[in-house]
Amino acid sequence: MSGGEIDRRTLIGAGAALLVAGGARAATAETVRAPDGDYAGDSDGAIRRFRGIRYARAERFRAPVPVSAPGERMEARGFGPVAPQKGKYAPQSEDCLFLNVWTPGADARARRPVMLYIHGGAYSNGSVTDPLNDGATLAAREDVVVVTVNHRLNALGYLYLARLDPRFADSGNLGQLDLILALQWVRRNIAAFGGDPDRVMVFGQSGGGAKIATLMGMPAAQGLFHSAATMSGQQVTASGPQNATLRTRAYLAKLGVSETNLAPLLELPVERLVEALSATDPVLGGGVYFGPVLDMKWLVRHPFWPDPNPQSNAIPMILGNTRDETRAFVSPDSARVKALTWDNLAAEIAPDMRVDILPEWVVAQYRAQFPNDAPADIFYRATTAGRSWRGQVIEADARAAAGANATWVYQVDFQSPTQPNRGAPHTMDIALAFGTLAAEGSFTGTGPDAQRLSGQMMAAFAALARTGRPVAKGVPEWPAYRLPDRATMVFDAASRAVNDPRKWERELFARVPYIQPGS
């Protein structure tokens, strides 16, 4: 073992080894003393917050190693840097393995439920430093400890080099290994912040949900969390090792690095690594995809194929989507949407449904089912149903068929009052789940309906963390998801449970196989 490399036994055992280094100790007004260090945070109203806690370090393309400094004072008053990526988040650094904690009180006797959030942005972008992910409101309203985690992304987190160079045996799943070390940090330290290490819920939106679905199929993550919620993010299958290798070769070619000599990869400026993400994906087309790999080391079977990994069937789980997912991806004000006609609609929906189905037939079926729809309405209906809902339906059905009875499904129908032409788009549920209705990027507005709905979602999620069931005051009765009823909580101005609300579209697309993008 050399450098930053560790094997499975080392990673799984790291938490236990550090746990015995010391128990939670008394907190002062300024500092929380925990087994891995003394963390100096600040306050946001009545909530104490600790931002920029280092949970691990990692060398480029190597597995992470935990960081522990018992008794050492560490400043935790500002976010750490985010993973290198294209986009708005800054500052960026390869040294990005930091987490953040919000707590109503750092008393180890409190043993509050812990809600750990994993951000979206597929596997290539995003950060929990986004204002939508601020944990203060959720922590205060539901009396929980909120944790948010950043980790490595894109090529730095998921470039699969193992078949080309044995030095990088863990490279296809590094982002997932980062998350596992963050969960181990929580297990060791969260009691000092007033949290219960035996009641840890993970929740995540979009790519964050997909990362959670993947963790549910990783043996190294077993036992580190006790309930889960995925929000518009699923991972039925991982990237196969051969397709992942094809993507690696395309990426290396873009960089001008030979696959027989990967040494330059360790020396190139990180900006070059980010620029090369524009390489064309040899499987999907478009920008090269990076995500978890079926490497037969850390991920030894697909998360939800041919069935859900049995290791996680006992974990209570919420799965959700929004009604109008793709209204977030293709603007209703775009030239593309404004140019839609009955003559070009089939051609326009074909690439965005992400399944190989006859688009002319799909248009005809939708026109017959929804005769008053305009072309743009059917564009969003068909692309949302084909692209965004399939994975969630497959995962929920698979859990129900496997007897995983602690499964609940939701659909957000609440229409954006601030951008009505977006409907209930992708990311709508982030602000609702955090209570960050006024944050930049929120679609919810701050009106009474949004506040009531946000209260319901926060209460339901926190109840899952607290008791393993989304049963809470103010939340309508939410039946578990079972076949054939497919009970679904429709979150709206007037939330209610409905059986199989997307039945017609579910059955229409069930005629063709679903292939997880990136597989």
What tens digit of pLDDT does each residue of 391-445 get? 999 999 999 999 999 999 999 999 999 999 999 999 999 999 999 999 999 999 9
User: Which candidate, 270, 284, 303, 304, places its Cα nearest to that of 154?
Assistant: 270
Question: What crossing angle do the helices spanning 359-369 and 345-353 adopt, rounded to 10°?
Answer: 110
What stretches of 387-447 show up as alpha helix (H) in DSSP?
390-401, 428-434
User: Which candidate, 70, 124, 126, 67, places its Cα nearest to that of 98?
Assistant: 67
In this structure, of 16-25, 85-94, 279-288, 292-301, the range with the lowest mean pLDDT score is 16-25
Cβ atoms within 10 Å, residue 204: 28
Instruction: Match domain 316-510 to its CATH number in 3.40.640.10, 3.40.50.1820, 3.40.50.740, 3.40.50.300.
Output: 3.40.50.1820
d(C-alpha 36, C-alpha 24), whole Å: 9
User: Which candidate, 180, 47, 142, places its Cα nearest to that of 101?
Assistant: 47
Mean pLDDT of the chain: 93
pLDDT at residue 43 tops 80? yes
Q: What is the pLDDT of residue 91?
A: 96
For the segment 89-105, the average pLDDT, to the nearest whole number, is 97
Fold of 30-277: Rossmann fold (3.40.50)
3-state helix, strand, coil in the chain (%, to 5): 35, 15, 45
Pairing of strands 145-149, 98-103: antiparallel
Query: Where in the chain are the domains?
Result: 30-277, 316-510
pLDDT at residue 179 tops 80? yes
pLDDT band at 8 (very low <50, low <70, confident <90, very high): very low
d(C-alpha 393, C-alpha 388), whole Å: 10
d(C-alpha 10, C-alpha 12), whole Å: 6
pLDDT at residue 19 tops 50? no
Token representation of residue 228 = 């889960």
pLDDT at residue 3 tops 80? no
Q: How far from the centroid of its chain's Cα atoms is residue 65's Cα?
A: 22
Q: What is the pLDDT of residue 4?
A: 36
Q: What is the pLDDT of residue 30?
A: 74
Q: What is the pLDDT of residue 1?
A: 34
pLDDT band at 7 (very low <50, low <70, confident <90, very high): low
pLDDT at residue 163 tops 80? yes
pLDDT band at 516 (very low <50, low <70, confident <90, very high): confident
Q: Which residue has tokens 């992910």? A: 133
CA within 13 Å, CB half, 193: 36
pLDDT at residue 248 tops 50? yes
Q: What is the pLDDT of residue 519?
A: 66
For the segment 43-69, the average pLDDT, to the nearest whole number, is 96
- Asked, colleague to colleague, whether 30-277 and 316-510 share their fold, the answer is yes
For the segment 306-323, the average pLDDT, to the nearest whole number, is 96
pLDDT at residue 12 tops 90? no
Question: What crossing angle do the helices spanning 174-189 and 8-19 adopt, rounded to 10°?
Answer: 20
Token representation of residue 498 = 């409905």
Q: What pTM did the predictor assign? A: 0.93
pLDDT band at 518 (very low <50, low <70, confident <90, very high): confident
Cβ atoms within 10 Å, residue 134: 22
* pLDDT tens-digit map of 452-503: 999 999 999 999 999 999 999 999 999 999 999 999 999 999 999 999 999 9
Please classify residue 417 by burial: count the beta carbons closer than 10 Å to its beta carbon, then call 0-12 exposed, 13-18 middle and 19+ buried.
middle
Percent of the chain with pLDDT over 90: 92
Q: What is the pLDDT of residue 284?
A: 87
For the segment 74-83, the average pLDDT, to the nearest whole number, is 96
